[in-house]
């Protein structure tokens, strides 16, 4: 990697233009047609283009909206999630009425409202080692708006193997990054970040937060990159990483080059293992040595002290009964003494023998366990709840639903009788 200055490369257009545009299309895209260097030919190329968008969330929302409005002819949307109310703060392609619907369905409706003639294909699922190469090979450009490391590296490797250009972007809290990878025309993601991070090594948006409007800034830049590639205009972010810090309002560019010592991607073996690990992170994997899964936690719940390291407002949404509250920031500052103080304030003074720490999904509680591990008194067992309160809610909700169904099932299995005297008999 290097920060040395270099001339940004220009590339020929990716797509041959359609033969013509209708009168309606000429009117619709007239502001494009008058652009120097873009014009009618550029708009005809957009109409001929097919783009795969990975993720219909924070980044996918502006990407899909602007590509549909710009006149791209065919969009494929892949996402396995459903719309939640917490998405609406940044995922502007979805509306309140869409909560509970598959994101791909909601997004398809939205882009069709922009362009009824747009060809849209939806895939309600994840990009996987099984489908990635085929999907990449079917499209002119791929835009990666995924929210996990495994998918980002899968996208890179599929791009390298198929030769399909990839536009890549990330957001976290108040910062975002964008780059473009074109195999054979510059460095790839693995030249910039060689190794796949562990699934929970960095907080996700749910744990760490994200400024909603940041998605618009970064997603719009990603859509612009796709249009530049399709039409062969300007200089894409090849060998450049655009960095944006929202709080300072500053943009910066890191230039990087291919790593001559990096082995080329030859198959998806490594990234397939990462994808499997990421899926297991949803609760199917064996817990780490310093973790406890929900099933075991529920079996010993009465014998442990539960410490909640989330923020005050999060406890208003859900809480594990009897838990002691100590936000992670307090643990960072005060360590074990902060926990002892919190126990005293809650009337639970003294050193407990068995402590389970939880957060929303497990990342912050793992950090808390690590912070306390060096100062925990002898004889105290300290563990992080795998999957956090999200996993606890899923399991307890499923158990409650199962209990609710059992009486109805038992009644349905009993033989009917016309004897009124049998009512109430066991």
The SS3 of residue 7 is coil
Of 215, 231, 275, 359, which one is the catalytic site residue? Answer: 359
312 contacts: CB under 8 Å, gap ≥ 6: 325, 327
215 is catalytic: no
Of 205, 215, 231, 275, which one is the catalytic site residue? Answer: 205
Helix (H) or strand (E) holding 74: strand 74-79
Name the pTM for this structure.
0.75
205 is catalytic: yes
Q: Which of 157, 120, 121, 118 is nearest to 136 (CA)?
A: 157
Cα separations in angstroms, 350 against 301, 353, 355, 408: 19, 10, 12, 47
What are the pLDDT tens digits along the chain (426 aa)? 444 455 566 799 999 999 999 999 999 999 999 999 999 999 999 999 999 999 999 999 999 999 999 999 999 999 999 999 999 999 999 999 999 999 999 999 999 999 999 999 999 999 999 999 999 999 999 999 998 899 999 999 999 999 999 999 999 999 999 999 999 999 999 999 998 887 666 666 666 788 999 999 999 999 999 999 999 999 999 999 999 999 999 999 999 999 999 999 999 998 998 888 776 554 434 444 588 999 999 988 888 899 999 989 889 989 999 999 999 989 988 888 888 888 887 777 666 678 999 999 888 898 899 888 888 888 888 999 998 999 999 898 888 877 777 655 444 454 433 333 333 333
Distance of alpha carbon 253 from alpha carbon 361, whole angstroms: 33
User: Please, how many CA atoms are within 13 Å of residue 299, restricted to the half-sphere of its CB?
Assistant: 5
Distance of alpha carbon 142 from alpha carbon 150, whole angstroms: 16
294 contacts: CB under 8 Å, gap ≥ 6: 283, 385, 386, 387, 391, 392, 394, 395
Q: What letter does residue 16 receive in the DSSP assignment? A: P
Give the chain's length: 426
Distance of alpha carbon 284 from alpha carbon 41, whole angstroms: 51
Distance of alpha carbon 201 from alpha carbon 149, whole angstroms: 10
Roughly how many angstroms between the first and final C-alpha of the chain, as a whole number?
Answer: 77
The three-point CA angle 332-338-342 to 5° equals 130
């Amino acid at each position: 990697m290097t920060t040395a200055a270099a001339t940004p490369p220009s590339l020929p257009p990716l797509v041959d233009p359609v033969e013509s545009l209708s009168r309606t299309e000429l009117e619709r895209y007239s502001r494009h047609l008058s652009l120097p260097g873009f014009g009618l030919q550029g708009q005809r190329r957009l109409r001929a283009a097919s783009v795969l968008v990975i993720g219909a969330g924070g980044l996918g929302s502006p990407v899909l909206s602007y590509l549909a409005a710009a006149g791209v002819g065919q969009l494929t949307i892949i996402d396995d999630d459903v719309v939640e109310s917490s998405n609406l703060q940044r995922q502007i392609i979805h509306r309140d009425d869409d909560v509970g619907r598959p994101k791909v369905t909601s997004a398809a409706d939205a882009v069709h409202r922009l362009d009824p003639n747009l060809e849209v294909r939806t895939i309600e699922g994840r990009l996987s080692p099984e489908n990635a190469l085929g999907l990449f090979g079917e499209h002119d450009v791929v835009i990666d708006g995924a929210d996990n490391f495994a998918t980002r590296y899968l996208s890179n490797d599929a791009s390298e193997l198929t030769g399909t250009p990839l536009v890549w972007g990330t957001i976290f809290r108040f910062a975002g990054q964008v780059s473009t990878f074109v195999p054979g025309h510059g460095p790839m993601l693995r030249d910039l970040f060689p190794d796949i991070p562990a699934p929970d090594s960095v907080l996700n948006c749910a744990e760490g937060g994200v400024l909603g409007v940041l998605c618009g800034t970064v997603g719009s830049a990603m859509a612009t990159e796709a249009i530049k590639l399709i039409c062969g205009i300007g200089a894409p972010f090849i060998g450049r990483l655009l960095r944006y810090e929202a709080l300072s309002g500053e943009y910066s560019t890191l230039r990087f080059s291919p790593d001559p010592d990096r082995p080329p991607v030859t198959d998806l073996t490594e990234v397939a293992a990462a994808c499997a690990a990421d899926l297991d992170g949803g609760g199917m994997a064996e817990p780490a040595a310093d973790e406890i899964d929900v099933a075991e936690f529920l079996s010993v719940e009465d014998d442990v002290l539960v410490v909640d390291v989330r923020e005050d407002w999060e406890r208003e949404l859900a809480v594990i009964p009897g838990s002691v509250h100590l936000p992670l920031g307090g643990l960072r500052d005060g360590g074990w003494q902060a926990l002892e103080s919190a126990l005293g304030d809650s009337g639970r003074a003294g050193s407990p023998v068995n402590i389970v720490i939880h957060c929303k999904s497990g990342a912050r509680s793992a950090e808390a366990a690590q912070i306390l591990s060096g100062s925990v008194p002898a004889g105290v067992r300290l563990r992080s709840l795998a999957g956090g309160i999200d996993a606890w809610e899923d399991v307890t909700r499923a158990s409650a639903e199962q209990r609710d169904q059992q009486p109805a099932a038992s009644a349905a299995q009993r033989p009917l009788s016309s004897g009124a005297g049998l009512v109430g008999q066991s």
